[in-house]
Amino acid sequence: MSVAGAHDVVQPASFAFDAANLARAKTIIARYPEGRQASAVLPLLDIAQRQHHNWLPRAAMDYVAGLLDMAPIRVYEVATFYTMFNLAPVGRWFFQICTTTPCWLRGSDEVVAACTRKLGIGIGETTQDGKFTLREVECLGACVNAPVIQVNDDFFEDLDGPATERLIDACAAGQPPAKGSVAGRQTSAPAGGPQVLKAPPARYAWTLETPKPAEPPKPAGA
Ligand code: FES
């Protein structure tokens, strides 16, 4: 296991966007008025992180600073403020476990325990083979389906200990399950299924059941 902080990471000597990402970056920069290119710093850092195995080396931040004509320290300030930027390597499967109050009330302790027991690492650590990293995070904004883990870009919800272990097994096999509720909940509907709005309101019923009424004729010259 390892616990890497930004200060003890082996940094690459250089970084540059590949051709596809450079084209994407130029398209994003062009959306902003002249003199406001610094506003593109967040999406460009995101592109850089995705290109560099889900973490941002200093060379990537310097590269983005150069593209946007910003002082490097301004880019470091952004990258160190937002927790979605990783300043040290993370595993192939990056587990961000929410332990804020709604998830805690719904069993996030059990989810954390399942992760640490199954992977043999603690929060903030990466497995020896580099496959899994565990991080504890604040509310992920999916409390209605608590408890929740974000794995890379996807949310897995309504977890408990056994479901968390199955999720880890699936990721280890390279076949993560469908994202969303592992209990089969329809988006954020009640666990037993929708209780209201099971059919469209009568005045809109034609949208599903009958052809749309013909539009009235337009006045001449309109
Ligand atoms: S408290 Fe866990 S998603 Fe909001």
- 156 lies in a domain? yes
Q: Are residues 167 and 104 in the same domain?
A: yes
Contact between 102 and 143 (Cβ < 8 Å)? yes
Give the side-chain half-sphere CA count within 13 A for 3: 6
Domain match, 68 and 134 both: no
Residues 97 and 126 in one domain: yes
- pLDDT band for 54, please (50, 70, 90 cuts): very high
Q: Is 103 in the pocket of ligand 1 (CB under 6 A)?
A: yes
Q: Is the CB of 102 under 6 A from ligand 1?
A: yes
Q: Is 131 helix (H, G, I), strand (E, B) or coil?
A: coil
pLDDT of residue 205: 61
Q: For the segment 192-209, what is each residue's pLDDT rounded down to a tens digit?
A: 888 888 876 666 665 655
CA distance 43 to 40: 6
CATH number at residue 144: 3.40.30.10
Q: How many CB atoms lie within 10 A of CB 103?
A: 27
User: Which among 111, 85, 84, 83 is positioned nearest to 98, based on CA atoms?
Assistant: 111
Which atom of ligand 1 is nearest the CA belonging to 108? 2
Residue 167 belongs to some domain of the structure: yes
Residue 67 near ligand 1, beta carbon < 6 Å: no
- Which residues contact residue 99 at a Cβ distance below 8 angstroms, ignoring those fewer than 6 apart? 108, 109, 112, 136, 137
pLDDT value, residue 193: 85
For a ligand 1 pocket test, name from 96, 97, 103 the mutation site with the most ligand atoms within 8 angstroms of its C-beta. Answer: 103
147 band by pLDDT with thresholds 50, 70 and 90: very high
Contacts of residue 133, Cβ cutoff 8 Å, sequence gap at least 6: 90, 91, 93, 94, 95, 125, 126, 127
Does residue 76 sit in the same domain as residue 107? no
Q: How confident is the model at residue 168 (pLDDT cuts 50, 70, 90)?
A: very high
With a 6 A CB cut-off, is 159 part of the ligand 1 pocket?
no
| CATH number of 23's domain | 1.10.10
Is 108's pLDDT higher than 60?
yes
Of 81, 101, 133, the one marking the end of a domain is 81
Are 72 and 113 members of one domain? no
Closest CA to 27 of 63, 61, 67, 66: 67
Is 205 a member of any domain? no
Asked if residue 111 has its Cβ within 6 Å of ligand 1, the reply is no
CA of 154 to the centre of ligand 1 (A): 14
In a domain, 77, yes or no: yes
Q: For the chain, what is the domain count?
A: 2
Tell me if 112 sits within 8 A of 106, measured CB to CB: no
* Phi-psi region at 25: left, alpha or beta (left = phi > 0; alpha = psi -120 to 50): alpha
Q: Do residues 101 and 164 share a domain?
A: yes
Asked if residue 157 and residue 104 are part of one domain, the reply reads yes
Closest CA to 161 of 138, 191, 182: 182
Domain identity same for 97 and 139: yes
User: Percent of the chain, pLDDT > 70?
Assistant: 88
pTM of the model: 0.83
Task: State pLDDT tens for residues 35-50.
Answer: 999 999 999 999 999 9
The domain containing residue 14 runs over which residues?
Answer: 6-81
Single-letter amino acid code for the residue at 35 = G
Q: Which of 143, 150, 157 to mutate to test the pocket of ligand 1 (most atoms within 8 A of CB)?
A: 143
